[in-house]
Amino acid sequence: MSEQRPPTPIPTSSPAAPAPAPAAAASAAAAAAPEPSAALTGRERGGTPSGLLEVTDLTVRFGDTVVVDRIGFGLDAGGRLGLIGESGSGKSITALAVLGLLPDGAAATGSIRFDGRELLGRSDRELSRIRGDRIAMVFQEPLTALNPLWRVGRQIGEPLRLHRGLSRRAAAAAAVELAAKVGLPDPERLVRAYPHQLSGGQRQRVGIAIALACRPALLIADEPTTALDVSVQADVLALLTRLVHEAGTALLYITHDLAVVASVARKLAVMRGGRLVETGPTETVLRSARHPYTRRLLAAAHRTSWTGPTGGPAPELVGRPAVEPAGDLAARPVDGRPERTSKAGA
């Protein structure tokens, strides 16, 4: 049995002097959104988790490789939490663990409680009743997340048929309404199209419509604008933020982009090498980051180089980054039904 290490304290930011204008402007946009704040919790901070989503001491391993290392956070109903870090930091694996979609070969320990119910250890059949209904996800690449053989309208209406018992006719009518709600032009025509006939931005709007069809309590958005053209990223992000707020849905927003997450989240959790290195209110983290890694992320966002307190180079960060599985290990929806998403290769 491996030696149990005590939890590593996570820096929590406290107010300090104002940050440079770009970060201040971005955080001000986030602060203006009138929704409940997310409550970061976890054993590392010595708190007792409470809220809609409670993650405690979550560890994910692929064999001997630890890719998520004893992290803990919480998210209240209607709150917005940004999970930020570079590629390989464990962000997406954390999301897949919440959804119960870890690929074969992965082992998760700890606790993931959603609305008071433990999710770790539940069967895929049990979790399929939650996915797409109470918890939904918007994937990074909309083209691969959609079923190429199903028309758009069928894919939008499928969660309503599975979880709400709507007839095919009623689901088709609801699909048109949802298509219009996410800003698809000429929705009556577009719901009859196939995914490859839409632009990238339109496909991601379809993904958002599918995810929000059943008004889930929690939406996980994994880099939802990264694969889109720059010209449409802002529109899709604004749409997602508005719809989540209108529905009162909690949002776990995963990204590597501080500028993006600053306009979306009220709380930030910064990951590196599978660990949380800093948590706190968005504005506070942007104004007075305490961990060297967070400061370097901010410096990169401002396209400047960060130096240590004596003016020397930034210190090396201890620990090796975890490596996230890629390629065939990535989860993919099957049959165009995110609520029936299964593990790759299953």
**323 in any annotated domain:** no
Does some domain include residue 315? no
- List of E strands, 115-266: 117-118, 135-138, 218-222, 250-255
Q: Would you say residue 23 lies in a domain? A: no
- Dump pLDDT digits (tens) for 179-211: 999 999 999 999 999 999 999 999 999 999 999
Give the sheet arrangement for strand 65-75, strand by strand. Answer: 65-75, 53-62, 106-114, 117-118
Number of domains in the chain: 1
Q: What is the pLDDT of residues 125-136, one digit of tens each?
A: 999 999 999 999
CATH number at residue 268: 3.40.50.300
Q: What pLDDT score does 13 carry?
A: 54
**Neighbouring-strand partners of residue 220:** 137, 252
Residue 280 pLDDT exceeds 80: yes
Yes or no: say if 209 and 179 are a contact pair by the CB < 8 Å rule.
yes
Q: What is the pLDDT of residues 55-77, one digit of tens each?
A: 999 999 999 999 999 999 999 99
Domain range for 232 is 53-303
**Sign of the C-alpha dihedral computed for residues 314, 316, 319 and 321 taken in this order:** positive
Check if the beta carbon of residue 79 is closer than 8 Å to that of residue 39.
yes
- To the nearest whole number, what is the mean pLDDT of the chain? 80
pLDDT at position 158 over 80: yes
Inside any domain, residue 41: no
pTM: 0.75
